[in-house]
Amino acid sequence: MSRTLPTINTALRALALVAIASIATADCVRPGDRVLLVSTRPVGCTTDPARLAKGVTAAERADCRWNATDFSAAMASLDPTLPIVFYVHGNQITASEARRCGLDVYTRLVRCAEDDRPIQFVVFSWCSDKVPGLLKDFREKAARTKPVGYQFAWVISRLPQGSHVGLIGYSYGARVCSGAAHLLAGGSLGGLTLGADCPACGVASVRAVFLAAAYDACWNSPRAYHGLALNRIDTLLSTTNPIDPAMKYYKWVPINSKPPAVGGVGPRGLSREQAARVRLMPVANSVGRSHDVYDYLAAPGLMRAAWRRVAFADVSLEPEAAGADADAIGE
């Protein structure tokens, strides 16, 4: 029996992963939903607002294809009374992989929905293509997440007034989300800021789900590098998996220190108010020694919990209910 159960569990997980990985083939966008792509790849790592305005591209999924559209028009067309959910991918992802995986995350999310509320799902694609040398690649992309965090915050700041934003960040994508939230709260990333008017840029609320978050566990503590992120994020669900190899060996990415990663141990050094916004979900038993996004998507209960948060499934987003308490999340 002790030999049979692991074999059965492995087989069941393999079947689940095959099902998730085949989602893009079905390519179903639910009636009432919108699925968009926003890419900063054409502008590299620039943080010049003028270049971003001219170079950021957008597309919308319809009829099983991506149809190019104007970025500014796409942002303006989003409905602030419906959830706007961003997925930010991790490292070593090509443009085509970002599109395909983004669709998979969308479909997995809506398959775990507990109601039929429509959502607007946006895949954020950034320049994370693999560069030669494993450690060099990890360190170069870690540095790149600073300007990309600015780019992502700049994109969010273009949303309509009163928007309700859900963030799903995977690996370095969670690092990008955390940095963007810090900027949206009026913070600075190595001198990069969105300006004095940013905290009133129009976003009503932000909720986040981080999967295998690849950034320093202390960064969300007060006065740390992303210290204002949890001032802007109303609620954060973060997976923890210390045996994920990327989390286990994350300590070798920074040069002058060896910190643990949020995705391994959760955020550390938080104030009581910050800690009240965070829920940790251990997934080592289901994900195991893997840093594959599809293993995380298959973790039991994870995407159902993600839906409740990023789809604001516990509150109404109608204008008259905009002041509703967003922290009371039923599990």
| In the chain, where the domains are located | 4-318
pLDDT at 201: 73
Q: At residue 228, what is the residue type?
A: L
pLDDT at 317: 75
pLDDT at 26: 52
Residues in CB range of 215: below 8 A, 6 or more apart: 145, 172, 174, 175, 178, 226, 261, 262
Given a contact cutoff of 8 angstroms between Cβ atoms, the answer to whether 302 and 296 are in contact is: yes
Residues in CB range of 199: below 8 A, 6 or more apart: 184, 185, 186
CATH fold for the domain made of 4-318 = Rossmann fold (3.40.50)
Q: Which two tokens stand for residue 244?
A: 């994920």
Strand partners, 321: none
For 14, half-sphere exposure in the C-beta direction (CA atoms, 13 angstrom radius) is 6
State the chain's mean pLDDT as an integer: 89
pLDDT at 197: 62
Tell me what percent of the residues of the chain surpass a pLDDT of 90.
Answer: 79
pLDDT at 320: 52
Give the chain's end-to-end CA distance (angstroms, integer). Answer: 34
pLDDT at 229: 97
What residues in the chain have per-residue pLDDT under 50?
1-12, 17-18, 21-25, 321-331
Burial class of residue 313 (count of CB atoms within 10 Å of its CB; 0-12, 13-18, 19+) = middle
